[in-house]
A and B are shown apart, each in its own frame.
Chain A
Amino acid sequence: MWRRSALAVLYAGVALAAEPKYKLGRAATAEDIAAVDISVLADGRGLPAGSGTAAQGKDLYFRRCSKCHGAEGQGREEGGPLVGGKGTLTTAKPLKTVGSFWPQATTLFDYIRRAMPFDRPGTFSNEQVYQATAQVLFLNGLIGENDVMDAKTLPKVAMPNRDGFVKDPRPKVK
């Protein structure tokens, strides 16, 4: 199995890294990968088909998110705020939220699909994830209520703090 796939790669003329030495495990098939691959990159690679708007996500958010994050995303004891904090990052009480702090909108889709709702993670369809994502962006005033979020539009959402991150300067600067 292993041999065969290695040979196939060789015949295809693709650059081959050194031959595997131990040959344990098996070649992953496209199905193996599709079954668990939920990665999303900042440029939108990996975002699935489907779409959603805040208008479609309003009810979903109310039923499945607001008990922990508040009806307006203001946060509650069970879950932090998702909205607000603009202009606070240089103050003594910075409020870091999707709107004030997150550099990429793709992260929001990725995170909701992986982890939310907290009490039933991973149970939403991709459509529902797009809808909930759109609603959180809308609550932050970053998109309109009827703007369609999909694999093309989501990476283009202008996040206010997109340029707010710098490389690690340590150990030079403490």
Chain B
Amino acid sequence: MRKDRRKFLGAAALGGALAGCASKEGAVEVTEEPSLLGKPVGAYGERSPFENVKRHLNDTKTPQAASSRTPLHQLHGIITPSALHFERHHSGVPHLDPAQHRLLIHGLVERPLVLTVAELKRLPSVSRVHFVECSGNTGSEWSPKGAPDVQRGFGLASCSEWTGVPLSLLLAEAGLKKEAKWMLAEGADPCKMSRSVPVEKAMNDAMIAYAQNGEAIRPEQGYPLRLILPGWEGNINVKWLRRLHVADEPFYTKDETSKYTELQSDGKARIFTFEMDAKSVITSPSGEQKIGGPGFHEISGLAWSGRGRIEKVEVSIDGGKTWKPAQLQEPRYSKAFTRFRFPWEFTGVETIIVSRAVDETGYVQPSRQELIAARGTNSQYHNNATKPWRVAADGSVTNVEA
């Protein structure tokens, strides 16, 4: 300690600019050995050893058919670091060599086509920021108990910049026949996960992505190729894409019949429910956090819609009695996370905070009660209800049990 001090004084005398921090007495104290050099340059970066933000894993006997959740409450801005993007696999992450991987387009096309990954990358590409959200996200909130924190309740949603080739371009190359209405999108994972995609979506804004946040897509996100269907439920954004089979009918795969359909209270289930409706959640402060007493706090959160841009987010600091508009971070992308912020003076009196999103179609995020009135409680998927958090007098934040 004393030695450090001496070194600091010496260095300061020489005019060296050093990082320091204020000590109790207010004097700046050095926290580093100025005479030691830092780490050399490195080939691939790592985060600070002081940072340990993690995905949340469920306890399961089949970790290859499981999910991990994004720590939304510990992230900033709108981009989810690739390493923290949520996962949902049905048979584990395959080990795919991009030199061997092929994409086959066949069925109701004039020219069935095989492309290598290298060939695909030569085609005109686009980069777009889009969220991917599992339709099972927030499924916990159908039950009155709900999840204790935002990671467990909302962490099956992430947002990345995706780069790839518009699917419409590839389908024009292959030449769609006029009977073409649907296509099976199939992964190269061990279970060959597959979903039926309507041709209109494929020709609209779908892309075959090969990059995520500037580098190759992570293995757990579909390396080397992933189908991105902006704004549509995560499962249909087929990872490890190896085949598109164009047909006149949907295929009724297990993941669009048994799973990812929504049972209503009359016993009928909604099928092919693709769009993720407008949704928002306050990520800070949120469940299981504790804010530091009365005074200023910035409320912050995320809003997104599978039907376009977020137009407005309102925040209530009195449990939904009154609402005020939040500031939206620009630029706002379509079908992407939008960060909202709201200045707040916490008075130290227990209250409930909640946010509500409106998208460019005018759709207003419903409350849990409104959603249940329309669908019952057996729907399982597509829960986009508003999320109230209780802030206790001591600043501790908990899930509001409905």
Tell me, in angstroms, the Cα distance from A98 to B172 when the chains sit together.
38
Asked if A60 CB lies within 8 Å of chain B CBs, one says no
- Given A77-B61, A94-B263; A165-B271 close (CB under 8 Å): yes
A contact residues around B267 at 8 Å (CB): 89-90, 164
- Given A122-B192, A170-B277; A101-B172 close (CB under 8 Å): no
Nearest Cβ in chain A — how far from B356, in angstroms? 14
Asked if A157 CB lies within 8 Å of chain B CBs, one says no
B contact residues around A14 at 8 Å (CB): 110
A contact residues around B266 at 8 Å (CB): 90
Closest residue of chain A to B273 (Cβ to Cβ) is: A168
> Which of the residues A26, A40, A103 comes within 8 Å of B114, measured between beta carbons?
A26
Contact with A along B89-107 (1 / 0, CB 8 A): 0110000000000001111
B contact residues around A111 at 8 Å (CB): 253-254
B contact residues around A27 at 8 Å (CB): 111-114
- Of the listed stretches A17-25, A50-58, A137-145, name the one at the interface; the rest are far from the partner chain: A17-25
Contact A32 B114 (CB under 8 A): yes
Contact A118 B62 (CB under 8 A): yes
Contact A17 B245 (CB under 8 A): no
Contact with B along A89-101 (1 / 0, CB 8 A): 1101010101001
> Which of the residues B91, B251, B254, B258 comes within 8 Å of A41, measured between beta carbons?
B251
Contact B263 A6 (CB under 8 A): no
B178-213 contacts to A, CB under 8 A, are 178, 184, 186, 190-194
Contact with A along B12-28 (1 / 0, CB 8 A): 00000000000000000
Tell me, in angstroms, the Cα distance from A24 to B312 when the chains sit together.
44
Closest residue of chain B to A42 (Cβ to Cβ) is: B252
Q: How many A-B residue pairs have CB under 8 A?
A: 182
Contact A101 B258 (CB under 8 A): yes
> Which of the residues B191, B247, B269 comes within 8 Å of A101, measured between beta carbons?
B269
Interface of A is mostly: loop
Say which size band chain A's interface belongs to: 35 or more
> Which of the residues B64, B272, B363 comes within 8 Å of A168, measured between beta carbons?
B272
B contact residues around A107 at 8 Å (CB): 252-254, 257-258
Closest residue of chain A to B374 (Cβ to Cβ) is: A174
Tell me, in angstroms, the Cα distance from A14 to B277 when the chains sit together.
42
A141-174 contacts to B, CB under 8 A, are 164-171, 173-174
Kindly name the residue among A17, A40, A43 whose own CB sees the greatest number of chain B CB atoms within 10 A: A17
Contact B263 A28 (CB under 8 A): no
Tell me, in angstroms, the Cα distance from A94 to B266 when the chains sit together.
11
Tell me, in angstroms, the Cα distance from A107 to B274 when the chains sit together.
20
Nearest Cβ in chain A — how far from B236, in angstroms? 13
Contact with A along B265-284 (1 / 0, CB 8 A): 11111111111010000000
Given A25-B114, A78-B61, A115-B254, 10 extra CB contacts under 8 A? A25-B115, A28-B114, A33-B106, A107-B254, A111-B254, A164-B267, A165-B268, A165-B271, A166-B264, A166-B269
21 contacts between A and B (CB under 8 A): A15-B110, A15-B178, A20-B111, A24-B119, A24-B123, A25-B114, A27-B111, A33-B112, A41-B249, A77-B61, A89-B269, A90-B266, A102-B258, A106-B252, A115-B192, A118-B64, A118-B191, A121-B192, A122-B190, A165-B257, A165-B269
Chain A interfacial positions (CB closer than 8 Å to B)? 2, 5-6, 9, 14-18, 20-28, 32-33, 36-43, 77-79, 89-90, 92, 94, 96, 98, 101-104, 106-107, 110-111, 114-115, 118, 121-122, 164-171, 173-174
